[in-house]
Chain A
């Protein structure tokens, strides 16, 4: 009966997915073994349905022998959906609660982890510029997907998105007109190149790479939702160790330190908007 196949297959598919992720890790060093299972399964089945492959086991064979196919899978697994000034209240609260503290520092280091194609980083650059902090800031923008990092460096975005971004910018407490920050060309816009001056884009994998030291601010939004709880904890440890005393951590609106082992090591600046501050260590 076709119907019973479904249940048997589920068990086998779960095993095949484990083998596939193990193979990718052993061969290439990319570690997806502690990503959310439901998420990985969706992405893998999606790729399977688009490909000529008949099973996940065949996919495993393919990825071992074909580096280009690995790149395809990496793109499938790293959901790159992003926006400028996503969740405007986050930026508004950042302006109100975090900026006044940053103003007391002579030099500021900011790390955007999982920055995707850069929209979030440039949003922060605009905010810091408007607050008069940009010139004394160094922003590190990292992702493990080098293709999106290249896009981020170009800072060219579809013009169709500008309406939404303008709306977001206004809601986020922007001080001037959003149109000041881009030039329109055909169906794209290119962002003001001076926004790039203090940004360094770099390849960094949150699962396998190490600490990025002495940050005043770490922003990592909508990345942790793709990890299981253990991996989330591991990454919170990485952030904790990369922050200075009194440094700020901002995560996605639906992500939280609350269920992690690191909750007591931070003060909550805004539980709604998920902005936390590392406590001072003795």
Chain B
């Protein structure tokens, strides 16, 4: 058993940060990536289009009850929470904002931790609030791998700092190195996850 999914949470400055990370991943990246980026509720899907254009992996807005599949990046649609079911299907929700955010990073991370347990990587990026720290803590408690963008490399450092304060994270990594770190971890670990059991 290896990692089965990656979840990423980002806010202020996230568009650029996501580009820098996703750009270096190969087209056939072997696990699905689910992203909650804080975004105005009136925006269309320009973020997905933009990232899809500049990245080798395919990027799209997540659709209701579609299966999260490898080589694909799923963005939470504006004004919806993104959740993963235990069978890997995607669910959306319009329930109330969580700490002022919809999509909420915590909602995505908590549901993903339940769905993938230890086979999950959670990443908190730049942002000016503290969304994501509860979710990252939950991922850690379920033995998933936790990565936080080095606050010194973040446009807004509050969110990574809050995440680092909330749990003992595995990697604190400069923005430009996160993509390569993922390539390394996934190559090393997917298909063989020794070190457990």
Contacts and interface: CB of A to CB of B under 8 A. Distances in A.
Interface of A: 2-3, 6-7, 10, 14, 36-39, 41-42, 79, 81, 222, 224-226, 228-229, 232, 254-256, 259
B93 A79 contact: yes
B93 A39 contact: yes
B117 A7 contact: yes
B112 to A, nearest CB: 9
Interface stretch (B19-27, B83-91, B151-159, B185-193): B83-91
Interface string B74-102: 00010010011110010111111000000
Given A36-B83, A79-B94, A6 B89 contact: no
Contacts of A232: 65
Given A6-B142, A38-B83, 5 more contacts: A6-B141, A39-B93, A79-B93, A228-B85, A255-B64
Contacts of B110: 42
A33 B92 CA distance: 18
A10 B142 contact: yes
Contacts, number: 70
28 contacts: A2-B141, A3-B142, A3-B143, A6-B143, A7-B117, A7-B142, A7-B143, A10-B114, A14-B86, A36-B83, A36-B85, A37-B85, A39-B93, A39-B95, A42-B83, A42-B107, A79-B96, A81-B95, A225-B64, A225-B91, A225-B92, A225-B94, A228-B85, A232-B65, A254-B63, A254-B92, A255-B64, A256-B63
Given A226-B93, A256-B63, A41 B114 contact: yes
B72 interface: no
Interface in B23-52: none
Contacts of B111: 38, 41-42
Contacts of A222: 94
